[in-house]
Structure 1
Amino acid sequence: MAIVNEPTMTASFELSVEISAPLAEVWRSLVDDIALWWPPEFFTSDKSKGILLEAFPGGRLFEDYGEHGGLLWYHVVAIEKESSLLLSGHLLPPFGGPAVTSLRLVLSKSSSGVILTIHDAIFGAVSGYDPVDDWRLLFEGGLKAFVERLKQ
């Protein structure tokens, strides 16, 4: 058996997304309607039946494979209605880890609607890992597109 030691690092990433919609609508879409805007390419398995967010402290953000199967993305650490969502999860080796990730989503009003700021802090084997393009796909291509389409 070979033992490979990965360097342990910390990394922080941030992305802001401007969404032209009322704060309450963006919040509701973020926490209640996640299954409606989560892009299919973000699912980790062809068994995925959907994504679920239990929007309370201790709740889970997870992919549901059915029959009690699935993949846990995050646990909800803190939630402030229409303001912020703090999630903690494990970045497993098939997805770029092993590492621990703390994802904070902050909503703030802007002149044209809402600014969603995504803060991702990662500790572990994260050399070369950069989630910003993935967050852009998820939150611009998924959430923002969904919410702004509702306005039309």
Structure 2
Amino acid sequence: MRLVATALLAFALATPASALVKDSSPSGFTLENTEDVPTAPAETWKALVEDVGLWWPADHTWWGDAARLSIEPRAGGCFCEIHGEQQARHMVVTFVDPGRTLRMTGGLGPLQGMGLHGALEFRLAPLESGGTRITLWYRVGGYTPDDLSKFAPVVDGVQALQLGGLARHLRDARAPATAE
């Protein structure tokens, strides 16, 4: 348990603070983070599922290389990290509505090793500006002798970092090139 607590503390120190914990209790929590991006839902969806290795923080992978991540956007698909014989199934895709919703279930990072389970959704909504509002929602629960409400702010910070990576990737793709 000390190893898990140490890992969660390391996550907390490496991520920005976020106050978007919707609810928490000793047995679970719900998180919600939102970012508005200048890209249309179809372009946002494509980056979400095809470019995960470009926007997911490398320090939140098992082997330090985000390029080894992939998401198969189909029911039963894998959000996986493959590094030769070292392999991790982070989550399983359970719902796909292209351009709108991607739902996956499982436990991310140390939560998986704690035997916890969660439902994570990326929800995309069109904005009047032509951009997209991305909402990252994650509900986690399961048995553990530990008080999960203490983990909620830490995991929320990690979720904010991941969503921020996707938003930056989309904004950078839209940024005009500068002449050198």
TM-score by length of 2: 0.72
- Residue 128 in 1 paired to residue 146 in 2? no
CA positional deviation for 1:115: 0.6
Deviates more, 1:57-66 or 1:7-16: 7-16
- Residue 115 in 1 paired to residue 145 in 2? no
**Is the CA contact (8 Å cut-off) linking 1:48 and 1:64 kept in structure 2?**
no
- Tell me how far apart the structure 1 counterparts of residues 93 and 81 of structure 2 sit (CA, whole Å): 15
**Is the CA contact (8 Å cut-off) linking 2:107 and 2:116 kept in structure 1?**
yes
**Is the CA contact (8 Å cut-off) linking 2:58 and 2:64 kept in structure 1?**
no
Q: Which residue in the other structure is 1:40 paired with?
A: 58
Query: Which of 106, 121, 137 in structure 1 is aligned with 2:123?
Result: 106
Query: What secondary structure sits across from 2:169 in the alignment?
Result: helix
Query: What secondary structure sits across from 2:107 in the alignment?
Result: strand
**Is the CA contact (8 Å cut-off) linking 1:91 and 1:97 kept in structure 2?**
no
- Residue 18 in 1 paired to residue 36 in 2? yes
Summarize the alignment of residues 1-152 of structure 1 with structure 2, pairs less than 5 Å apart. 9-46=27-64, 50-67=68-85, 69-91=86-108, 93=110, 97-112=114-129, 113-124=131-142, 125=144, 126-130=148-152, 131-140=155-164, 142-152=165-175
- Tell me how far apart the structure 2 counterparts of residues 23 and 91 of structure 1 sit (CA, whole Å): 25
Query: What secondary structure sits across from 2:150 in the alignment?
Result: coil
Distance 1:97 1:28, change over 3 A: same
Distance 1:96 1:24, change over 3 A: same
- Tell me how far apart the structure 1 counterparts of residues 140 and 87 of structure 2 sit (CA, whole Å): 23
- Tell me how far apart the structure 2 counterparts of residues 47 and 29 of structure 1 sit (CA, whole Å): 18
Q: Alignment RMSD, CA only? A: 2.2
Aligned residues: 144
**Is the CA contact (8 Å cut-off) linking 1:92 and 1:98 kept in structure 2?**
no
Provide, for residues 82-121 of structure 1, a one-character-per-residue CA deviation record: whole Å limited to 9, x for no partner. Answer: 0000100035756673311110110001133111111111
- Tell me how far apart the structure 1 counterparts of residues 167 and 151 of structure 2 sit (CA, whole Å): 24
Higher helix proportion, which one?
A: 2
CA positional deviation for 1:11: 1.4
